[in-house]
Amino acid sequence: MAGRMLWVLLGIMLAMPGFFPEPCPAWADGGHGLRVGQVNTAGHLRRLVAFRPGIEEGEQKRVIRESGSLLLKAFPLLNGALIQLPPDQAETALDFLYRHPAVERIEEDVSLGAESQRYPSPTATPGGEGGVQGSLIIPADPEMLEESEEDYPWNLWQIYLDQADPRRQGDKVDIAVLDTGIDPTHPDLHKIVARGYNARIGEEERDTLDRNGHGTHIAGIIAAKLRKRSHLRGIAPRAKLYPVKVLGDDGSGYLSDLINGLNWVYKNRKIRIVNMSLGFSTGSELLHRMVRLLHEAGVIMVASAGNYDTTGASGEGAAGEGAAGEGAAGTGCASGEGAAGEGAAGEGAASGGGCLSQEQVKYPARYPETIAVGATDIEAEVTDYSIRGPEVDLVAPGGDRQDPVLSINLNKGYGLGSGTSQAAAHVTGLVALLLSVDRTLTPEEIRQILQDTALDLGLDWEAQGAGLIDAALAIDQVQSK
């Protein structure tokens, strides 16, 4: 009885506004590798539950039902599920679950967001709808497409695409773009967008239409077709793009949506590359399990290292619970309720349960199985907003607000954007070119080729990784094998 009263009092204290001065709340250690925390003060009641090995799906459903929770989505591949706690008995349900012998781990379904800088625009977003946080992508003047005498825009010159073998166009390479969706009606994406999947749990699975602009902008960097009388082009225009919608119209989503999207990719064995121009600040063991499965299956995963706010204002563009980082639309930071077994700063920090500061490389780029990409500006210098850390593998053009990256936009238009989102898309496009030369390349072979041929910018590893990608050298190295 006394123990139960202690939990009730702890829940009340944790729910008090301002109880935690830091954006990452502390959590009470519940024993046997689990941590229990308060229900999110914003009323977010969704949790990810991992069950112990050998617990059958029927038993999992029974445990969820007995806790009073609602099963929202089962993940048999991960031996886990997404649940919704009962609003009036959330603490009681959590207490039941963390004590149940069938439960291995509980994680909060934290928010995540696109890693593009937001442009000050209090009312307008690319789709013409209201947006209090500003726009990830802003419309470009059509004259920008014609005003350059160069055959390539600055970002493609920077990676030496003009010197790369022109026969390599990413032919028949399948790429999943985990983002806000893609606008398949854009003429520069004609016939290269395949049927994808809306991974946002509770929404129509066939609705992959982009209403934000971010996913379409990223898709254009990867694979837009060359227009007549224009220097705008994508890196791998003969690749096939699969829109996997994990972010909503405001550029934010949830961890469960990302896991669901990757789960769909795993089942679709044709896909070789995953682009994740998104990030969040809380580790997840369930997500890491999914990432490891894809890596073992030979899928190359490219992710944004993350942006942080260089203006000193935290949470610019936060749409979820407590975002941190410039342009991250809802990169919520709340420690997982179930730390990885031995927890602490080693295994637990890499797999899940750890909450990062604003200066650390974000998840999923932080996982060693992914290729983590930082951003350079028009001068080929690493941008101020590009997060540093030992996890950074490479840098690529991301631009900044003064000189952003030009790509396609909604309504058959063109747009400007900047961030490690855009940088990751450049690497994804180059990976497609390499696979069009040799489809047998493994994820680690791809990483090694990119790093061996990268241009050293003279910075430490935390800033640049191995350096700036070089498309010409990378393709030559694969062709000379």
Active site residue 214: yes
Cα separation of 118 and 122, whole Å?
A: 11
- Annotated catalytic residue, options 44, 214, 217, 426: 214
Segment (H or E) for 444? helix 443-452
- Annotated catalytic residue, options 179, 257, 309, 393: 179
φ, ψ of residue 24 in degrees (nearest 5): -105, 110
Q: Confirm if 169 and 236 have CB atoms less than 8 A apart.
A: yes
Cα dihedral across residues 247, 253, 254, 255: positive or negative = positive
What is the full DSSP assignment across 179-194? ES---TT-GGGTTTBP
Q: Up-side HSE of residue 347: CA atoms within 13 Å toward CB?
A: 8
- Annotated catalytic residue, options 135, 256, 421, 436: 421
Active site residue 421: yes
128-130-135-136 Cα dihedral, nearest 10 degrees: -80
Cα separation of 260 and 267, whole Å?
A: 11
State the alpha helices, DSSP H only, in 112-171: 154-158
For 473, the token pair is: 């050298």
**What number of helices (H) and strands (E) belong to the chain?**
12, 19
Which amino acid, residue 285? E
- Known catalytic residues are 179, 214, 421
